[in-house]
């Protein structure tokens, strides 16, 4: 039983191809990455076959915007993320190293800090 309609598969395939091309991968590379024969991957991009959800984490790890592939909506970072990223990009190599050393130290001092910060920013606490 298919979970997607033909029209949905075609749209997903088009967006998957768009992301692959944006990132500069060949269809052969992505087929290998998600562990399917090239022929099957070509059929996924053509909208003939549902890609399934199990390949999405691998695509995400390679920089694919999985939200866009599935929903046709780009990930939109919040204002704080954009500012943080911009300021990080402006740092020297030494400055970036200092940031990572600080993060490592914080994680060693408070192993649960990552979850605590997530909870705080979500408003869970």
pLDDT in tens, 73-114: 987 777 888 888 889 889 899 999 999 999 888 878 776 766
Q: Which residues contact 77 (CB under 8 A, 6 or more apart)?
A: 85
Residue 1 lies in a domain: no
**94 & 112 share domain:** yes
Instruction: Identify the pLDDT of residue 1.
Output: 46
Considering the domain architecture, whether residues 101 and 48 belong to the same structural domain is answered as no
Q: For residue 45, what are the contacts with CB-CB under 8 A and spacing of at least 6?
A: 13, 14, 16, 17, 20, 27
Same domain, 10 and 67: yes
The verdict on 84 and 115 lying in the same domain is: yes
Pick the residue with more confidence: 115 or 69?
69
Three-state DSSP class for residue 87: helix
Say which residues have a Cβ less than 8 Å from residue 64's Cβ, sequence separation at least 6. Answer: 16, 19, 20, 23
86 & 58 share domain = no
Closest by CA to 59, choosing from 70, 48, 46, is: 70
Provide the residue range defining the domain that includes 37.
6-71
Residues 84 and 56 grouped into a single domain: no
The domain total for the chain is 2
> Which tens digits make up the pLDDT trace of 3-27?
678 899 999 999 999 999 999 999 9
């Amino acid at each position: 039983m298919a979970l997607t309609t033909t029209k949905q598969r075609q749209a997903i395939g088009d967006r998957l191809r768009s992301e692959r091309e944006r990132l500069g991968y060949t269809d052969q590379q992505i087929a290998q990455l998600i562990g399917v024969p090239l022929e099957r991957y070509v059929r996924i991009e053509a909208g003939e076959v549902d890609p399934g959800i199990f390949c999405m984490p691998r695509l995400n790890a390679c920089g694919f915007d999985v939200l866009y592939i599935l929903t046709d909506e780009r990930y939109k970072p919040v204002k704080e993320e954009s500012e943080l990223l911009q300021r990080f990009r402006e740092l020297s190599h030494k400055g970036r190293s200092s940031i990572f050393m600080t993060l490592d130290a914080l994680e060693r001092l408070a192993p649960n800090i990552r979850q605590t910060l997530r909870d705080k920013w979500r408003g869970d606490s």
